[in-house]
Each structure stands twice: as C-alpha cells, then as structure tokens.
Amino acid sequence: MAHEMLTPPARPLPRGKISYEQFLQWLDEDTWAEWVDGEVELTSPVSMQHDRVHVFLVAVLHAYTSANRLGEIHSEPFQMKTGVDLPGRSPDILFVSNEHLHRLKPTHLDGPADLVVEIVSAESAERDRVQKFAEYERGGVREYWLIDPDKRQAEFYQLGEDGRYVCGFSGGAGVYHSAVLSGFWLRVEWLWQQPPLIDILRDWGLV
C-alpha cells in the first residue's frame, strides 16, 4: 500500500485504544484507515503510478476470477482481520476463494484472504515488506504479492507447509504462475506496460 500524505478523517479520531469492533463502528466509507495495536492509523491518497497498477490488476484479477468462478475480488478500503490478536488491515487488493466466502462480513473480511496484493512505495516499503509480511504470514494469507511500480519489480510469495512464505518469483519480467488462482499466469511486464485487457484475455484463451 502506498501513501504519500495523511487524509484528515471526516470526524475526530478516537481517543486512546479502541477495540476492532469500535474501530469498524467509527470508520466510514470516506475514511481510509487501519487498526493497529488498538489505535487508528490513517492512510492517504496514492500516486498516479500506484493507481494505474491498482486499476489494471483489479481489472485483470476480476476478469479471470469471474470467468472461472473462483471467488471474489475486493480492494482498499475494504478491511481484513486475519486473526484475533492481529491488526485490521486494508490491503490494496484481496481475493477470497469460494470455499472461504463465509468469512466475508458486511464491513470486513473476518479471517485471511487467499491472496493479498500490496503496491509498494518508498513510504510504505517497511510496512509492506516487514510488518504486513509477518502479519499475513502468521494470519494464513496463502499468497502475497508485493508490486513496486517505481523499481518495476514484483515479488510473489506462497505459504509453505511450515507456515512460512517462500518466494515463488521475483523480478521485473517473466511469467508467474499463481498457487491460489487455478490456472492463472501473469506476464510481470504487463504490470508496467498495461496492455488492453482484451489482449490478455486472448492470451489466456478466454475469448
């Protein structure tokens, strides 16, 4: 997740520590924030480069998962709480498989997504690569993508049998095959070139 400046909330921040349930009651659709150690952490508008990658990936993932009826795609500011003692995060993109759709609640995902994507900036690098990496690993997110548009680098992690992430692919070009999305593959250079969706659908044999 990339953030460049804080966005003031529509109403005052809660004082002191609050529960996740209180956080969800306080949160509204116009406020982008996360819940960490009982406190509200505001997020902010993203760069154009970040947004282009985000819009592209949402379109690509939604097209593939819808065509194959694999589950649902959601994106920030939708909340995810991977565990009772873990923060409430708002991933850039998350995928929930059909078998885990029961985890979806009206205001958040109660449990880990099957796949999470975070788009990295200089400001968010430590949060995405260290804090969230550890949280998503511990919380059981089966696949974690870290996309860095500035460096044109992508890293794709898959949860191993020992509960630790293993890097399935790292680089700026090449083909990545998802462990979670059955049959899904992605040319990494698409992230920077962003070809028309119809061309990608043809490559996948969906049209």
Structural domain contains residue 15: no
More confident residue, 20 or 203: 203
Structural domain contains residue 140: yes
Expressed as residue numbers, the domain containing 186 is 46-204
* CATH number (domain holding residue 128): 3.90.1570.10
Structural domain contains residue 192: yes
Structural domain contains residue 12: no
Structural domain contains residue 178: yes
pLDDT tens digits, residue range 94-131? Answer: 999 999 999 999 989 999 999 999 999 877 888 899 99
Q: Tokens standing for 207?
A: 């049209």
The identity of residue 192, as a single letter, is W
The model carries a pTM of 0.81
**Domains in the chain: how many in total?**
1
Report the percentage of the chain scoring pLDDT > 90: 66
Give which of 136, 133, 76, 78 is closest to 112, Cα–Cα.
136
More confident residue, 112 or 8: 112
pLDDT tens digits, residue range 26-49? Answer: 887 777 777 888 888 777 666 778
**Mean pLDDT of the region 48-69:** 94
Structural domain contains residue 69: yes
Structural domain contains residue 157: yes
pLDDT tens digits, residue range 126-185? Answer: 889 999 999 999 999 999 999 999 999 999 999 999 999 999 999 999 999 999 999 999
